[in-house]
Amino acid sequence: MNNDKIIDLLEKFKSEQKALLPKVQLKNNFQKENIRFIAGVDVAYFDMQGKTKGVCCIVVFDLIEKQVIEKVHSHGEIRVPYIPGFLAFREMPLIKDAVKKLTKQVDIYMFDGNGYLHYRHMGIATQASFLLGKPTIGVAKSYLKINGVDFTMPQNKENAHTDIIINNEIYGRVLRTRVNVKPIFISCGNWIDLDTTTEIVMKLIDKSSRLPIPVRFADIETHAIRKKLLIKE
DNA sequence: GCGACAG
DNA sequence: ATCTTGTCGC
């Protein structure tokens, strides 16, 4: 993919993101007590026959029974390069394919990446919400600096957090899910508020990781599937 | 030209 | 994201 083509694509992508923005709602469109099934979505990459391929896994976790109730995956060629701010366009085709395979109910989707914490408030979690028609949450392992604004490190206590505020607007939250571990960067995707987002993320933390269970499991699953695909060929 | 850069 | 072994700690 040459440079001119990428520049054209980015302009097109940017206007798609701007068109979606007015539809974003940072309010819960559900009753908290009804939330039970949380899906984690992640993508892993590999090369095969000189092409960049990807594996997308979705793991659905039951908050009540505390167990995984469904795992689905999709894989295929990745055609869009990674450019900060446009991750959704790179991963969305595979996500769509994996979503089609789901048979169980999902109440909320969690993504490996940002949501409202994004240049145009349109990180992958927010953008994907329109495809899914469900509330979404963004969970990033590192910080994507916006307009040169740094984040404030939260205290070294479980559940300590600081907000990322730019031009008097809250973009997202830096959350210390466990003591002595780097914080994560969470943000609303759509149809959910930041406090509820934080609550749900904390409910899904266990001793095994600083990341919430569905995202962690989806990450592990993508690596497992990728390994199988590489052995076959 | 240099640095920054979710995954 | 990915390339990669051992190793410190709960």
Please report, rounded to whole angstroms, the spatial distance between the CA atom of protein residue A185 and the C1' atom of nucleotide C8: 26
Query: A86-102 burial, b if ≥16 CB within 10 A, otherwise e?
Result: bbbbbbbbbbeebbeee
Residue A55: nearest nucleotide (C-alpha to C1'): C1
Quick one: tokens of A130? 């329109």
In DSSP notation, A11-42 reads: HHHHHHHHHHGGG---S-SS-GGG--EEEEEE
Read off the pLDDT of residues A50-104 as tens digits, 9 standing for 90 and up.
Answer: 899 999 999 999 999 999 999 999 999 999 999 999 999 999 999 999 999 999 9
Strand locations in A63-168 (E): 67-77, 108-112, 136-140, 161-166
The pLDDT of residue A2: 73
For residue A232, name the pLDDT band (cuts at 50, 70, 90). Answer: low
Q: What is the largest CA-CA distance in chain A?
A: 52
Residue pair A108/A137 in contact (Cβ under 8 Å)? The answer is: yes
Query: What share of chain A has pLDDT > 90, as a percent?
Result: 94
The pLDDT of residue A175: 97
A82 touches strand B (CB under 7 A): yes
The CATH number of A3-232 is which of 3.30.2170.10, 2.60.110.10, 3.40.50.620, 3.30.420.40?
3.30.2170.10
Read off the pLDDT of residues A121-173 as tens digits, 9 standing for 90 and up.
Answer: 999 999 999 999 999 999 999 999 999 999 999 999 999 999 999 999 999 99
For residue A231, name the pLDDT band (cuts at 50, 70, 90). Answer: confident
Which single residue is written with the structure tokens 């995707």? A189
Read off the pLDDT of residues A42-52 as tens digits, 9 standing for 90 and up.
Answer: 999 999 998 99
Which DSSP state fits A146?
B
Read off the pLDDT of residues A192-205 as tens digits, 9 standing for 90 and up.
Answer: 999 999 999 999 99
A141 touches strand C (CB under 7 A): yes
Domain spans of chain A, in order of start: 3-232
The pLDDT of residue A6: 85
A112 touches strand C (CB under 7 A): yes
Residue A222: nearest nucleotide (C-alpha to C1'): C1
Positions of chain C reached by protein Cβ under 7 A? 1-3
- Please provide the average confidence, as pLDDT, over all residues in chain A: 95
Please report, rounded to whole angstroms, the spatial distance between the CA atom of protein residue A26 and the C1' atom of nucleotide C4: 41
Which of A12, A40, A44, A45 has the alpha carbon at shortest distance from A107? A40
Which of A162, A193, A184 has the alpha carbon at shortest distance from A111? A184
Q: Which residues of A are annotated as a binding site?
A: 42, 112
